[in-house]
């Protein structure tokens, strides 16, 4: 009657708009990700609507993100019995970090490693060093469990929209300049895109964990 907790979550490609998972589902493994959240407010959604209208003129199939964050890890898989020690290790390493301000205001196009998805994001232009420090500690946790560490030269960013396929050249040629002009000219964009990082979050399967910064 009840699912085995070690089964994790059953994947259904129809629920993900055709996105392709980068690793297969197996019994007892849980997709895991670490990030700093961005709590979007009304003004941010006003800006996002303007950006989406402009970007969809070039690529109508773009999908707006529903949640916003700056990643500190790749998506990795954990065995069910690893979740508790993984989270405990992550908590201990995050405990000494202080809150900090960062700015994300540079429009940039990204793809995932497999080139199966393209993203439009706002790159972090201030606060990069603090994110590198966080990633350094997250990477140490990953190494404890023999998991993939983060990218060697990361471009920290908040993803705004995505679509299936590799269309980065199309967006770079036809959309980026116009999108950047919208960001630069948007009223109060400077304080809107200057963000206080106050916590680190982790999701493993359907379990969420939060680690407040000092």
Q: Active-site positions?
A: 69, 157
Residue-by-residue DSSP string for 23-57 = S---TTEEEEEEEEE----HHHHHHHHHHHHHHHH
Query: Residue written as tokens 């003004």?
Result: 43
Strand partners, 200: 211
Q: Cα separations (Å) of 167 from 44, 60, 72, 144, 160?
A: 25, 12, 24, 36, 15
Distance CA 142, CA 136 (A): 10
């Amino acid at each position: 009657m009840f699912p085995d907790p070690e089964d994790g979550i059953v994947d259904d490609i129809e629920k993900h708009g055709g996105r392709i998972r980068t690793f297969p589902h197996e019994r007892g493994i849980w997709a895991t990700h670490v990030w700093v959240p961005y709590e979007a407010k009304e003004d941010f959604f006003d800006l996002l609507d303007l950006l989406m209208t402009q970007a969809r003129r070039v690529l109508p199939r773009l999908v707006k993100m529903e949640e916003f964050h700056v990643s500190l890890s790749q998506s990795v898989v954990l065995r069910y019995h690893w979740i508790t020690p993984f989270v405990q290790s992550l908590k201990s390493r995050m405990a000494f970090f202080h809150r900090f301000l960062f700015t994300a205001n540079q429009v940039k196009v990204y793809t995932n490693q497999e080139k199966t998805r393209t993203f439009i994001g706002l790159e972090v232009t201030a606060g990069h060093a603090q994110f590198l420090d966080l990633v350094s500690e997250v990477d140490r946790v990953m190494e404890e469990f023999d998991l993939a560490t983060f990218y060697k030269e990361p471009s920290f960013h908040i993803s705004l929209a995505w679509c299936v396929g590799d269309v980065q050249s199309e967006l770079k040629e036809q959309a980026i300049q116009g999108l950047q002009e919208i960001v630069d000219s948007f009223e109060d964009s400077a304080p809107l895109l200057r963000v206080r990082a106050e916590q680190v979050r982790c999701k493993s399967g359907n379990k969420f964990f939060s680690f407040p910064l000092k």
